[in-house]
Amino acid sequence: MKKYLYRYLVACSVAFLGGFISGKSAFAEGYRPAEINCLAENIYWESRNQSVKGMFAVGHVTMNRVKDSRFPNTVCEVVYQGPTRQSWKDKTKYYPVKNRCQFSWYCDGKADIVPNADAALYDLILMMAFKIYNGKLKDTTEGSTHYHAYYVKPEWASSKTKTVRIQDHIFYRWER
């Protein structure tokens, strides 16, 4: 977490300078480092192999879930949503149940450490996350709350409204 703090501060500095130049504060909506970091992690692990448009889309789906009362109220709660199990070693720790999370990367059993080779990409994603979190980028998913890769057929897809396909992902809105 500490190594991302420096990257986050750089991203915030860029946002601040952009606001200073434009006369519109990038921090007007709020400064929530933990929430923005959760959003950046989700964008990175879910869409690092996609285009910038695909990364924006994943970020917007996450934020659309935060705004929807059927999901948790914060970015981190949305990203880490899913069943947990108690550690057999330490009864005070809980771990996500493998392959049962809302976002597959969180409970795939792999280490969630951004490789050094992707440091610049993660910096870009942090800046995206900051802008998405503060509502500064248009939602190209038309309010989508779900998505899946085009080559899978989840059972929930038939109960949602298909909105758009962006590269490898098909996006859906959960109607009220």
Q: What is the mean pLDDT of residues 10-33?
A: 57
The pLDDT score that the predictor gives to residue 82 is: 86
Question: How do residues 99-111 score in pLDDT, each as one tens digit?
Answer: 888 888 888 778 8
- For residues 137 and 112, the answer to whether their CB atoms sit within 8 Å is no
**Rounded CA separation 44/168 (Å):** 15
Quote the mean pLDDT of the chain.
Answer: 86
Using the predicted structure, report yes or no on whether residue 27 has a pLDDT greater than 80: no
Give 127-162 pLDDT, tens digit per residue. 999 999 999 999 999 999 999 999 999 999 999 999
pLDDT, tens only, 62-81: 999 999 999 999 999 999 99
Measured CA to CA, the distance from residue 75 to residue 37 in angstroms comes to 9
CATH value at residue 86:
1.10.10.2520
Q: Does residue 89 form part of some domain?
A: yes
Could you tell me if residue 29 is inside a domain?
yes
Of 95 and 36, which is predicted with more confidence? 36
Domain contains 149:
no
- Residue at 128 is within a domain: yes
Any domain includes 151: no
The answer, as to whether pTM is greater than 0.75, is yes
- Which residue in this structure is represented by tokens 């870009």? 124
Expressed as residue numbers, the domain containing 38 is: 2-141
Q: What's the number of domains the chain is made of?
A: 1
Residue 23 scores a pLDDT above 90: no
CB 129 within 8 A of CB 63: no
Helical H segments across 23-114, by residue range = 33-47, 52-67, 75-79
Task: Indicate the pLDDT class of residue 16, thresholds 50, 70 and 90.
Answer: low
With beta carbons less than 8 A apart as the criterion, state whether 134 and 50 touch.
no
Q: Is residue 115 part of a domain?
A: yes
Q: Which of 31-40, 94-103, 165-174 has the lowest mean pLDDT?
A: 94-103
CB distance 57 to 166 below 8 Å: yes
Asked whether residue 121 is assigned to any structural domain, the reply reads yes
Q: Report the pLDDT value the prediction gives residue 109, as an integer from 0 to 100.
A: 78
Q: How confident is the model at residue 20 (pLDDT cuts 50, 70, 90)?
A: very low
Q: Is residue 169 part of a domain?
A: no
